[in-house]
Amino acid sequence: MERVADSARLELLQRANACFAGFFRRFSGAPAVDPSEEFHALLRLHETLESVGALLSGPLQIAASNEVCQALDCYRENLVRLRSQLAIMQQSAMAQRESLDHRRDHLQGAKAWCAGSRAIV
């Protein structure tokens, strides 16, 4: 029975680590071109975190297999990496917002200039 539980834990942790790997492969060092792609990737990651959180909130046997312990170590390392990656993504989003705010101000100025030019003509 314990072997089945370890197998299920291992499978969940491996899926979670694969989800992290895909996320890091796609978003590390490269801003998202499509905000919805980034949103959906973060949503998948959130769902994965929720699933593993449910596993970890339950009683995790001390006698878990070596494979489960290794998968948990990898998961922990992925969480640390995710924290820094999310900080980078936040900085990128703030820079993008600043750029868009500047562009909006510029476009509003151009719109006012055009409206003023039409009034003169």
Q: What is the pLDDT along the chain (121 residues), one digit of tens a residue?
A: 466 677 888 999 999 999 999 999 988 867 677 888 888 999 999 999 999 988 887 766 555 688 988 999 999 999 999 999 998 888 888 988 999 999 999 999 999 899 888 877 6
C-alpha dist (Å) from residue 25 to 17, 21, 42, 116: 12, 6, 13, 50
Residues 6+ apart with CB under 8 A from 15: 48
Domains of the chain, by residue range, sit at 2-120
Q: Which of 73, 67, 77, 92 is nearest to 3 (CA)?
A: 67
d(CA 45, CA 82): 10
pLDDT at res. 38: 86
